[in-house]
Structure 1
Amino acid sequence: MIKIGLIGCGRISKNHFEAIAQQPDAQCIACCDIIEDRAQEAAQQHNIPTWTTSYDQMLSDTNIDLISICTPSGLHPEHGIQAAKAGKHVLTEKPMACRLAEADELIKACDEAGVKLFVVLQNRLNPSIQLVRRAFEEGRFGQIYMITSNIFWTRPQDYYDMATWRGTWKLDGGAFMNQAAHYVDMVQWFGGPTEEVKSITATLARNIEAEDTGSAIIRFQGGTIGSINVTMLTYPKNLEGSITILGEKGTVCISGVAMNKIEHWEFTDHQPYDLELEKANTHPSSVYGFGHRLYYKDVIKCLLEKSEPISNGVEGRKSLYLLEQIYSSSG
């Protein structure tokens, strides 16, 4: 049984608590938040035995094997390094940091402590995305010419006003760094190392430091051209979270609000699983999808069987590197 402590009982923590509760070989035994009422409420709602406002106190619990970090993005490295020094494995929400240098410090701390580092990139485990990845690894696309991703969501001003850290450069970043992080990861997962990035970002309607809208064009080292378009200003609700891959021998579009629905699937060859596409479509109630449950399943398997996770610190760093390129090229 893997015992878990969670820090940061805000918006995303619900997905973690519920996902952990569905794992037969894991249990969340403690939660922590600097806001006392929030920590206590989370413990009561999700049947967590212990809650605290002291992170040091939670880290001192020798029963805890893994710390799940759900605090603001800019605090992920600090909290992860503290956990690693306490001998705990580290699971951090995306992005693993707001700055690449801090991500490297986190990776180094986990390596030196001999603990595992997991970065939550749960959309990689979407059934639809897993099918695309299978086709990709089998070489069914041939040469890939273009990869595009659209994230047309909405985040009203009151979303940002709920917490002072939201939309700040220090602790959050903007639409690319926060909301589009999974899609940036997906584009680089299929595109590979980058050669050139050009982008435009703007703060068009929200009263925040960072951007609410932007577009990036990427040339990958293999020659593929990529593009990512993101806005938090879609009227009146979330519209699309998609990725399209155009190749020499195949074209695929995965859309829906969270890369959850196969819209187009066509290759020059045919495989038996092509007839089972509908089974890969899911119907999530939010843009978070169902990936956290599958992600924790992968993490627990890794810890118990000493297998390799689908996304570790090195993988998390790749998408953060691209995010830094997007921001630096926007001026």
Structure 2
Amino acid sequence: MRNFALIGAAGYIAPRHMKAIKETGNNLVAALDKNDSVGIIDSHFPEADFFVEYERFDRHIDLLKRKGTKIDYVSIASPNYLHDSHIRFALKHDAHAICEKPLVLNPHNIDALKVVQDETGKNIYNILQLRLHPSIIALKQKVEEQVAKDPTKVFDVDLTYLTSRGHWYFTSWKGAEDKSGGIATNIGVHFYDMLGWIFGNVKNNQSHLKQADANAGYLEFKHARVRWFLSVNYDYIPDDIKKTGMRTYRSITVDGEEIEFSGGFTDLHTLSYQDILDGGGFGLEEARKSIEIVSNIRKQNAIQNTELEHPFVKKVG
């Protein structure tokens, strides 16, 4: 049984980390969050110590180590802009880090973390759960088979992801680009990772729409031309989806064929943890390509390119 600490215990994704720690047969020893709405801990690890102040949490982890209770892993589910600091915290306390995506906001942060990883001998893992989704694994295998037959093959892909968020979103850290990285980073980074994992290196990266609630653009990989549209605005969800009462719309088509991957998400964190504990996991270099993509998107100005733009761009007035 390994000992875990968790940073960001009150966040949206934290329960999946708690569930993963428990389902892999391990123990959550201590948790941290500046917000104290963390009753969910009782469902998983009621004996875990909880802190709202970083300094007391830091001292507690140090005291545990001196008394013989070593923290093996620190799970990080804090706001995006704090990931870098919290990863360093884990490694400096002689623990491996398991961090939510995006691992960091910029590629140079990966280079700096590699130095700390080499110094400490501890590993940094990124939760890239789509790589473990059965439908995505099947798609990768299908693409590899077709590319083996025709190395020049380039697929046409449309990625559409709308996940409605209320007014709270823009009051929270998620609505601040310097803290979340913006829409493309906050809700898109794991899709870009998946696309790069399947279709190869990036050849072209364009932004066609840059608004606080919606981003769109075009990515060309070695084996794919991708039109993408991401938004947290309910207004852009197709009417037929609205009629069902759904507030989320997720679609990936490859050469016009829909890839069904809407189910199976809730167990992917447990699979991710098990993969790490079994000696696998996705490290710094696996995260690099998607971080480079979102960093470049953030720096770009939107251009008009009706030939390559996603059809949903026309929905935005």
Same fold, TM exceeding 0.5? Answer: yes
Q: Which residue of 2 aligns with 1:312?
A: 283
Letter in 2 for 1:55: F
| 1:208-266: CA deviation from partner (whole Å, max 9, x where unpaired) | xxx2101111222x3632222111113454332232333xxxx75324xxx33xxxxxx
| 1:15-41: CA deviation from partner (whole Å, max 9, x where unpaired) | 1111221113x2222211123x335x3
Alignment partners' CA distance in 1, 2:189 and 2:209:
15
Q: Which residue of 2 aligns with 1:293?
A: 270
| 1:267-323: CA deviation from partner (whole Å, max 9, x where unpaired) | xxxxxxxxxxxxxxx3x5xxx543111111111111xxxxx32x2111112101111
1:184 is aligned, of 183, 192, 204, to 192
Q: Which residue of 2 aligns with 1:87?
A: 94
Preserved contact between residue 149 and residue 242 of structure 1 (Cα < 8 Å): yes
**50-59 or 26-35, which moves further after superposition?**
50-59
SS of the residue 1:228 aligns to: strand
Preserved contact between residue 218 and residue 228 of structure 2 (Cα < 8 Å): yes
Alignment partners' CA distance in 1, 2:301 and 2:208:
5
TM-score, length basis structure 2: 0.80
Over aligned residue pairs, what C-alpha RMSD do you find? 2.2
Give 5+ residue unaligned stretches, structure 2: 236-241, 303-317
Matches within 5 A, 1:6-45: 6-9=6-9, 10-24=11-25, 26-35=26-35, 37-38=36-37, 41-45=39-43
CA 1:138–1:68: 2 relative to 1, 3 Å? same
Q: Which residue of 2 aligns with 1:321?
A: 292
Preserved contact between residue 126 and residue 290 of structure 1 (Cα < 8 Å): no
CA 1:300–1:223: 2 relative to 1, 3 Å? closer
Q: Which residue of 2 aligns with 1:168?
A: 176
Q: What's the CA shift for 1:103?
A: 2.9
Letter in 1 for 2:219: I
SS of the residue 2:28 aligns to: strand
CA 1:58–1:298: 2 relative to 1, 3 Å? farther
2:75 is aligned, of 43, 68, 71, to 68
Pairs aligned (count): 280
Choose between structure 1 and 2: higher helix proportion.
2
Q: What's the CA shift for 1:140?
A: 6.2
Preserved contact between residue 154 and residue 234 of structure 1 (Cα < 8 Å): yes
Which stretches of structure 1, 4 residues or longer, exceed 6 Å deviation after superposition? none
**135-144 or 107-116, which moves further after superposition?**
135-144
Preserved contact between residue 119 and residue 312 of structure 1 (Cα < 8 Å): yes
Alignment partners' CA distance in 2, 1:23 and 1:108:
30
Alignment partners' CA distance in 2, 1:223 and 1:64:
43
Alignment partners' CA distance in 2, 1:7 and 1:329:
32
CA 1:180–1:194: 2 relative to 1, 3 Å? same
Preserved contact between residue 195 and residue 219 of structure 1 (Cα < 8 Å): yes
Preserved contact between residue 205 and residue 220 of structure 2 (Cα < 8 Å): yes
SS of the residue 2:295 aligns to: helix
Aligned-residue sequence identity (percent) comes to 25
**138-147 or 5-14, which moves further after superposition?**
138-147
Matches within 5 A, 1:49-68: 49=47, 50-53=49-52, 54-60=56-62, 61-62=64-65, 63-68=70-75
2:254 is aligned, of 226, 240, 245, to 245
